[in-house]
Amino acid sequence: MTNKSRFLNVPVEPFRIDPELRADELLQRMERISFQGRNLAIAHRVWQKMLDDDVTIFLGIAGALSAGGLRLIIAELIERRFVDCIVSTGANLYHDLHEARGRRHYLGSPQADDAALASERIDRVYDTYVDEEEFIDNDNWIAGFTRSLERRPFTSREFLYRLGGHLWETTGQDGILTAAYRANVPIFCPAIADSSIGMGVSQARQTMAGTGQIDVIGDIIESTNLVIRRPRTASIVLGGGTPKNFINQACVQAEFYSDRVDGHRYALQIVTDVPHYGGASGSTLDEAKSWGKLASDADQVTVHVDATIALPLLASALVRSAADRAVRRTRPQFEFHGREIRLDGVRFSSDVFEDRP
Amino acid sequence: MTNKSRFLNVPVEPFRIDPELRADELLQRMERISFQGRNLAIAHRVWQKMLDDDVTIFLGIAGALSAGGLRLIIAELIERRFVDCIVSTGANLYHDLHEARGRRHYLGSPQADDAALASERIDRVYDTYVDEEEFIDNDNWIAGFTRSLERRPFTSREFLYRLGGHLWETTGQDGILTAAYRANVPIFCPAIADSSIGMGVSQARQTMAGTGQIDVIGDIIESTNLVIRRPRTASIVLGGGTPKNFINQACVQAEFYSDRVDGHRYALQIVTDVPHYGGASGSTLDEAKSWGKLASDADQVTVHVDATIALPLLASALVRSAADRAVRRTRPQFEFHGREIRLDGVRFSSDVFEDRP
Amino acid sequence: MTNKSRFLNVPVEPFRIDPELRADELLQRMERISFQGRNLAIAHRVWQKMLDDDVTIFLGIAGALSAGGLRLIIAELIERRFVDCIVSTGANLYHDLHEARGRRHYLGSPQADDAALASERIDRVYDTYVDEEEFIDNDNWIAGFTRSLERRPFTSREFLYRLGGHLWETTGQDGILTAAYRANVPIFCPAIADSSIGMGVSQARQTMAGTGQIDVIGDIIESTNLVIRRPRTASIVLGGGTPKNFINQACVQAEFYSDRVDGHRYALQIVTDVPHYGGASGSTLDEAKSWGKLASDADQVTVHVDATIALPLLASALVRSAADRAVRRTRPQFEFHGREIRLDGVRFSSDVFEDRP
Amino acid sequence: MTNKSRFLNVPVEPFRIDPELRADELLQRMERISFQGRNLAIAHRVWQKMLDDDVTIFLGIAGALSAGGLRLIIAELIERRFVDCIVSTGANLYHDLHEARGRRHYLGSPQADDAALASERIDRVYDTYVDEEEFIDNDNWIAGFTRSLERRPFTSREFLYRLGGHLWETTGQDGILTAAYRANVPIFCPAIADSSIGMGVSQARQTMAGTGQIDVIGDIIESTNLVIRRPRTASIVLGGGTPKNFINQACVQAEFYSDRVDGHRYALQIVTDVPHYGGASGSTLDEAKSWGKLASDADQVTVHVDATIALPLLASALVRSAADRAVRRTRPQFEFHGREIRLDGVRFSSDVFEDRP
């Protein structure tokens, strides 16, 4: 077998049941099986490596994670600083706000009679229901908040920081927005106009013309500067979508202005889309290397599985296996003062791309 | 068989090969087979019905359609007014602009050595390559154009109309942006910040602070008013993503302000995502009914297939079967004057939601 | 909210991380989230209900589960009688035999250079390698065993019982074949000719003409009689394929001969295929009701996830939450004497469909 | 651009609509676009190359193609000898027989009330219905035919040849079974026990013990000898499943006995499964090379699309572009005499693997 040794090195170790295993121990055993089980176990390792290294960890969240019951996991990941910067769809923030304001989502059925639901103004997200009338109140609340802001453009990052602060003061409830506010973790929402958050903002104009200017172009600059200033980065993506691309785009744009940037050092994506239709959500991490979104020697893994299975397992494992690493690690320190942002104590432009330091 | 007649009405008619059939005739035969073949044939019928009715037809384009060779199909659909309003990802507009400016995409391989591509600065989109250095020139061109605009917020719709105009004057080339400009068909790009179009815009600020304000919240108001003014609508979605949601959101928002709106009358989506992970891209059109995005009795069909197969076939069929209907139909007439927009001759606010007329 | 109460009953309960949770506790928390996470939790409940009821539990295994490291989980499920009857692809049994005979599978990469692997005679199963030369020895072993049998037709069930016995006597190793042999749990392999097991059997004829008659038609009769005799059944399917259909077909066939049969009382499938292409692997459990494969009021759930993630979690949970139920439950008792089979002490024809008792 | 020329050679040529194009012309234009559209166009080319070369062309059919309206396409491909040997699931042959006997499948809905269908004994295949009571008559017909055969084992190939002959004599109708019978094209059905064909055969034993011995192990030998005798082969697979593996297995087995065999020279698969869950249906053609199922330099393409879209288009294109090639090509000539089979005039064992000639 001498000849073959370069391929046949580490045998598959059939998984043996031990009912007392915790999530991290389950995943440790899954490292030696195959297919997506192995990949989920590798994801656990890759995330641990991110925590051991001095990198800024981006987390992208797309798909109905908040409606689907994962918002408090993400809040805890923020609070414990397993992640440093969030890029989200608007929907995940809206459904987070909905629950922080004391409303609920409900268990439903994908075989529902949608005409009946419509007649009772209940909205369905696959197997989950929500009361549309409660949304109106959310929208009014967001519109009111928007009108309370100064009359100038806000990046989505600054807007969401202020929204999180207002939500925390009003409700004192845990959630993505409030945890990020309290931990000084920035949230970007580049596609905010494509969400109920954006709809609420737009309604502010009905009584106050010209209010609610969200400077999403400023978000590009700010996220890019974050990478220019701290060029070692990592990307964790749940579900693809605009967050996946926005996190990668920050690297590509940063490379235009700094030769110290050359792609994420680590990347982990949990997606259900596939590569062969050419869409960005399903694209491989290897493809990302061709663009310089990812370093050529990056530690990376893609897991093809629904986040509602992967994240409870992965986050439970991580809190057990790596809580101390999250405490010890060099966390990027953010401070937010109006439009201004400080990273590790140094001011950081949100209007002009930084020259390489 | 009396009892069963309510279920067993129309037999499957096995497809018989006739090599002389054109696309519309192929699809006609596929109406009597099963699964996605039948659905693609139904899509052809549903689109015809849209053309026969007096509805505003929205087209959403997500996925790498322009890079993948479908941009001139979309341009022709715009030009012939098989569609009335476009909602697009930024990438589809950027890759359209890239080719309108005389550059190309290239046939490549999904098994490429991405490190080798990266070292030569070639970007890969699954099986398609593009020269990254040519992108720099595009970005500069977009930045220069951005700086040439007045210093005020532009909705993505207004910005893209102006960009299309500049592109047409500069190049005289067909494409999505130029066809929409010439046909006075609005293009919305709510997630413009998550794209190379947005990156180009952001670079304008490097030499002209505060330029490039894209008022994506204004896009919500404008798209909503379009529905309030003309409440009979239809939705065609290629690939899901932000365009799918934005087109639906316009109905939901419009219902807040007008009781004449109750969801798209027709809906046709060509998607490869599936419903059971809860994401918006794969969500069913039935689910859309619960939200009021779609009328409860809407004529609708979902086709699960890559758009690079579906669209060449469907558009070829449509031009043969329905070119005259596209000419005869009542097309909504748009005029664009700066921030102002006129629909069928009547001014239309982009700042305030219209009261129901 | 009186009106809405019929839809809005049980709220989603956002998952809260507790790093000390075991698999069953993780799943218990996932019952109140959404999408496939909820479905996996429901699968745990449905399996528990099977164990509480007096039903014969069929387990179908397709996909590369043995090569992928799940064979000892299945062996333990057999041994503890969480299942009563196996229907398998040939490949899962062959790769099980490969490891029982002391050989291994190896961790590999899906990006392997397959020409290089081919030149070293290493076979790849996605991210897993195996030494093709070791297969030749397996094949000879199977051929030798086949020649040792009486010269008469064997159902796959009888053949595999004998093969399992020989494997156990030779190796004393745990695995699917040996566990089933020792627990008197029948294994059916209707597509045995489409596998390396079948290839090994076929090679027996090279030196002994006419040997290796596998009476797969007899398997239909035997599996059907199993249902006729014990009409309350449950179906657990991993991966779809021929096992899924064969388990369902037994119900359909049994209904021809007995009016006491009307479909599985419980059904749980873990599949990655989707329904909309019309294939059997991805077909819904609702569709199965139309055929009478499933009782109209059956307790059922489909989980769309890779079995290498689902099964380690689900089996670990089950051993912790339901080991005692598996001991206490009324297990169907099988005895195998040559072609004859006894179920709960009563002889059971494998040649003629039983009349309803 | 000198440096880049090795990657940037052939530009994408945006598809331009021409409503008069026939299927082959549509596909010709799709060769220069991307993703699955390009792959479908390549499939057309690869099939043409098969016809130009001197290879035995295997066609595997899985999924509900016959129920779904594709059976007459396959019949025509057989009749015109675009293919030389069929490997099928039992279901595709059963539903073919159902229609050849004058019964129909019906257009239905995937949202059907399955309990209502069950109560009227209507079986559903996604969006297609069939009358279960008509199946009983088919089963009796198959059982009667089975009893009419000599009392000896039949390979599925021999059994199906005889069944096709009986069906042709009885009905005179076109279809897969009858076309194959008339064209002397062999059909293998290795998983016949997992289908209604097998169920019909099994019912023959009710009144004639021991009848209906299907020698599926003999099928392995026969299919292998076909490859040993004519080592240049090509594989066309619709839908994966047992046919895909059986066609590949014939090559692997043939290599054991002949060093003139080294995998299919051409391979084309149209599948909807994906590789990353490790199952055989979705496995890549590259992976097949590691096993020697495919020659390392084989011309190959995978198209990810539903066969109900791909096959009508591809077969229509082929009949227009390559009908003459199918006439001119060197077709393997089969003759069937009882268990004996002749290939190009030379007897061919179905009991013993041939030595290399």
DSSP string, A120-186: TTEEEETTEEEEHHHHHHHHHHHHHHHHTS-SS-B-HHHHHHHHHHHHHHHH---SHHHHHHHHT--
Whether the CB-CB separation of B103 and B134 falls below 8 Å is answered with yes
Instruction: Supply φ then ψ for residue C59, to 5 degrees.
Output: -125, 120
Average pLDDT over residues B294-318: 97
Best to test chain B binding among C276, C277, C285, C304 (most B CBs inside 10 Å): C276
Query: Cβ neighbours of residue C220 under 8 Å, at least 6 residues apart?
Result: C190, C249, C250, C253, D193, D198, D199, D202
Helices B90-100 and B176-183, packing angle to 10 deg = 90
Q: What count of other Cβ atoms lies within 10 Å of the Cβ of residue D356?
A: 13
D24: distance to nearest CA of chain A, Å?
Answer: 22
Report CA-CA distances (Å) from D248 to C350, D236, D251, D342.
32, 11, 5, 22
D84: distance to nearest CA of chain A, Å?
Answer: 30
Instruction: Supply φ then ψ for residue A208, to 5 degrees.
Output: -145, 90
* 3-class DSSP assignment, residue D328: helix
- The neighbours of chain C, by the rule of 3 or more Cβ pairs under 8 Å, are A, B, D
pLDDT in tens, B67-106: 999 999 999 999 999 999 999 999 999 999 999 999 999 9
B304: distance to nearest CA of chain C, Å?
Answer: 8
Closest chain B residue by Cα to residue C36: B277
Q: How far apart are CA B116 and CA A91, in angstroms?
A: 38
Report CA-CA distances (Å) from A16 to A88, C62, D299.
38, 20, 42
Whether the CB-CB separation of D28 and D255 falls below 8 Å is answered with no
Burial track B248-259 (b if 16+ CB lie within 10 A, e otherwise):
bbbbbbbbbbbe
Tokens 């046709």 belong to B268
Contacts D282 to A, Cβ<8 Å: none
Asked whether the beta carbons of residue D221 and residue C213 sit closer than 8 angstroms, the reply is: no
Closest chain D residue by Cα to residue C254: D199
Q: What count of other Cβ atoms lies within 10 Å of the Cβ of residue D307?
A: 29
Q: Which of D4, D49, D244, D293 is catalytic?
A: D293
C71: distance to nearest CA of chain A, Å?
Answer: 7
Asked whether the beta carbons of residue D105 and residue B34 sit closer than 8 angstroms, the reply is: yes
DSSP string, B80-147: TTS-SEEEE-HHHHHHHHHHHTT---EE--TT--HHHHHHTTEEEETTEEEEHHHHHHHHHHHHHHHH
Asked whether the beta carbons of residue B193 and residue A68 sit closer than 8 angstroms, the reply is: no
Closest chain D residue by Cα to residue C290: D118
Structure tokens at B141: 């061109």
Average pLDDT over residues D174-185: 98
Q: How far apart are CA A89 and CA A93, in angstroms?
A: 7
Tokens 């992970």 belong to B277
pLDDT in tens, B125-181: 999 999 999 999 999 999 999 999 999 999 999 999 999 999 999 999 999 999 999
What was the pLDDT predicted at B2?
A: 46
What was the pLDDT predicted at C357?
A: 53
pLDDT at D164 over 80: yes
Asked whether the beta carbons of residue A118 and residue B292 sit closer than 8 angstroms, the reply is: yes
Instruction: Supply φ then ψ for residue D302, to 5 degrees.
Output: -110, 135
Contacts A277 to D, Cβ<8 Å: 35-36, 304
pLDDT at B113 over 50: yes
Mean pLDDT of chain D: 96
Asked whether the beta carbons of residue D68 and residue B306 sit closer than 8 angstroms, the reply is: no
What was the pLDDT predicted at C238?
A: 98
In this complex, the residue of C22, C106, C309 whose CB is nearest that of residue A19 is: C22
pLDDT band at B4 (very low <50, low <70, confident <90, very high): low
What residues of chain C score a pLDDT lower than 70?
A: 1-4, 356-357
Whether the CB-CB separation of B94 and B67 falls below 8 Å is answered with no
A306: distance to nearest CA of chain D, Å?
Answer: 13
Question: Side by side, which strands form the sheet with B56-61?
Answer: B187-188, B85-88, B56-61, B233-238, B264-271, B294-304
Instruction: Supply φ then ψ for residue C107, to 5 degrees.
Output: -65, 130
Best to test chain D binding among C217, C228, C261, C309 (most D CBs inside 10 Å): C217
B178: distance to nearest CA of chain A, Å?
Answer: 23
Average pLDDT over residues B42-52: 98
pLDDT in tens, D56-97: 999 999 999 999 999 999 999 999 999 999 999 999 999 999
Catalytic residue numbers of C, as ranges:
293
**ipTM of the predicted assembly exceeds 0.90:** yes
pLDDT band at D6 (very low <50, low <70, confident <90, very high): confident
In this complex, the residue of D69, D117, D306 whose CB is nearest that of residue B7 is: D117
In degrees to the nearest 10, what's the CA dihedral of A254, A255, A256, A257? 60
Whether the CB-CB separation of B356 and B258 falls below 8 Å is answered with yes
D225: distance to nearest CA of chain C, Å?
Answer: 12
Closest chain D residue by Cα to residue A33: D278
Residue A4: active-site member:
no
In this complex, the residue of D35, D278, D304 whose CB is nearest that of residue A35 is: D278
Asked whether the beta carbons of residue B217 and residue A217 sit closer than 8 angstroms, the reply is: no
E-assigned strands of chain D?
A: 56-61, 85-88, 106-107, 122-125, 128-131, 187-188, 233-238, 264-271, 294-304, 334-337, 340-343, 346-348
- More confident call, D45 vs D5: D45
Closest chain C residue by Cα to residue A80: C17
Asked whether the beta carbons of residue A291 and residue B132 sit closer than 8 angstroms, the reply is: yes
What was the pLDDT predicted at C356?
A: 56
Closest chain B residue by Cα to residue A61: B279
What residues of chain A score a pLDDT lower than 50?
A: 1-2
Whether the CB-CB separation of D283 and D247 falls below 8 Å is answered with no
Question: Side by side, which strands form the sheet with C334-337?
Answer: C334-337, C340-343, C346-348
Instruction: Supply φ then ψ for residue B123, to 5 degrees.
Output: -95, 140
Supply the pTM of this predicted model: 0.97
In this complex, the residue of B17, B122, B323 whose CB is nearest that of residue D76 is: B17
Asked whether the beta carbons of residue C202 and residue D132 sit closer than 8 angstroms, the reply is: no
Contacts C111 to D, Cβ<8 Å: none
Best to test chain A binding among B202, B211, B213, B271 (most A CBs inside 10 Å): B202
Asked whether the beta carbons of residue A352 and residue B249 sit closer than 8 angstroms, the reply is: no
What was the pLDDT predicted at D129?
A: 97
- The neighbours of chain A, by the rule of 3 or more Cβ pairs under 8 Å, are B, C, D
- The neighbours of chain B, by the rule of 3 or more Cβ pairs under 8 Å, are A, C, D
